[in-house]
Amino acid sequence: MSLNPYMPSLATIIETFDETPDIKTFRVVLNDEAAMRAFRFEPGQVAQLSVFGTGESTFVICSPPTRMDYLQFSVMRVGELTHRLHTLREGDPIGLRGPLGNHFDHQGMKGKDIIFVGGGLGLAPLRTLLLYMLDNRADYGAITLIYGGRTPEHLCFKGELAEWAARGDMRVELTVDNPDKLWSHRTGVVPAVLTDLGVSPQNAVAVTCGPPIMIRFTIQALAKLGFTDEQIVTTLERRMKCGVGLCGRCNIGGKFVCVDGPVFTQAQLKELPQEF
């Protein structure tokens, strides 16, 4: 009999802290040490986190495979499962099924300039690829991160943003819609900042994730700057349940976001029936 694909592995939360008023980061380790050592995944893949008794939801693994002390997930509190997840503390048990889905084509991005464009919690899937690239710095060209949120409070990974800006080998441009008195960076929506900066599509790939509206305008802005559909990469969200292409729920046309995604190029998205 085949393995039960619905059976999660048991894991424990080893660390949890707030990123913003409604986003928490969880660092998780599989209880089976051998399984943890053997866990392999690619940047962009997701996992289903279980709180037994409440349910399961899909989250991107936002730590990179080059840093395997733990698996990191950053979760916004929006519904039943995430509310319950936010009440868990260090030492609490959790279930994990993964890795699921496809991943960023970091092989194909080698030697190119990478433009990360993120908004709010959209930085989470970008983080895994960004850190992977920083850990393999020589393989990639210029790295730029354009990241924004509604207010300074709504930015994720705040400590790391400062670290990344201080590095000499990547460029960080931060922006918020509504600055406070202490804000010293840009003001404005992310797509507008992108346009202002006028990034070049020459030998470049843009990877974007954020609220649907931001993604839409970012893709438009990238197209105006000359990026082709193959040069624009994003991740999709859908209500998911089984995560392995059986329950039928997350389809867009004949593709399943849990198996054929969540990473898609704009070229791939254009081929799908347009139901977003």
Partner 1 sequence: MVARFLATENLSAQAAAWARDYRLLAPVREGQAVVYRPWANNMHPFLGRPPTASPKEALLPQTENLLSFTYRKDHEDLTRTEVFLAEPVPSEPTVVLGLRPCDARGRKLLDRVFLERGVVDPLYEKRRKNTLFITVACERMENTCFCHWTGGGPTSEEGSDVLLFAVAGGYAAKALTGAGEKLIAALPEAGPAAQEELAAKLATPAEPGPAPDLRQAPQRFLEAFDDMDFWMDESARCLSCGVCTYLCPTCSCFNITDENSGMKGKRLRTWDTCMSAQYTLEGSGHNPRVSRAHRLRNRVGHKFCYHPREFPAPGGEGAQPEFSCTGCGRCIKSCPVSVDIRRIVLDLLEKGERP
List residues near partner 1 by CB under 8 A: 1-8, 10, 50, 52-57, 78-79, 82, 91-93, 95, 212, 237-239, 241-242, 244-249, 251-254, 259, 273-276
- Please identify, using beta-carbon distances, which residue of 94 and 114 lies nearer to partner 1: 94
Q: What distance in Å separates the CA atoms of residue 260 and residue 254, rounded to the nearest whole number?
A: 10
Nearest distance from residue 233's CB to partner 1, in Å? 20
Nearest distance from residue 216's CB to partner 1, in Å? 12
Q: What distance in Å separates the CA atoms of residue 201 and residue 154, rounded to the nearest whole number?
A: 29
- Please identify, using beta-carbon distances, which residue of 83 and 167 lies nearer to partner 1: 83
- Please identify, using beta-carbon distances, which residue of 37 and 89 lies nearer to partner 1: 89
Nearest distance from residue 148's CB to partner 1, in Å? 18
- Please identify, using beta-carbon distances, which residue of 137 and 276 lies nearer to partner 1: 276
Indicate the Cα dihedral angle 221, 229, 169, 165, nearest 10°: 40
What kind and span of H or E run contains 125? Answer: helix 123-135
Nearest distance from residue 89's CB to partner 1, in Å? 9
Nearest distance from residue 138's CB to partner 1, in Å? 36
Report the b/e string of 22-50 with b at 16+ CB within 10 A: ebbbbbbbbeeeeebeebebbbbbbbbbb
Residue type, 190: V
- Please identify, using beta-carbon distances, which residue of 64 and 120 lies nearer to partner 1: 120
Instruction: Put the strands of the sheet holding 93-100 in their side by side order.
Output: 55-60, 46-51, 93-100, 9-20, 23-30, 71-76
Q: Identify whether the C-beta of residue 17 lies closer than 8 Å to the C-beta of residue 72.
A: no
Nearest distance from residue 225's CB to partner 1, in Å? 27
- Please identify, using beta-carbon distances, which residue of 111 and 254 lies nearer to partner 1: 254
Q: What distance in Å separates the CA atoms of residue 67 and residue 137, rounded to the nearest whole number?
A: 14
Q: What is the chain's Cα-based Rg?
A: 18
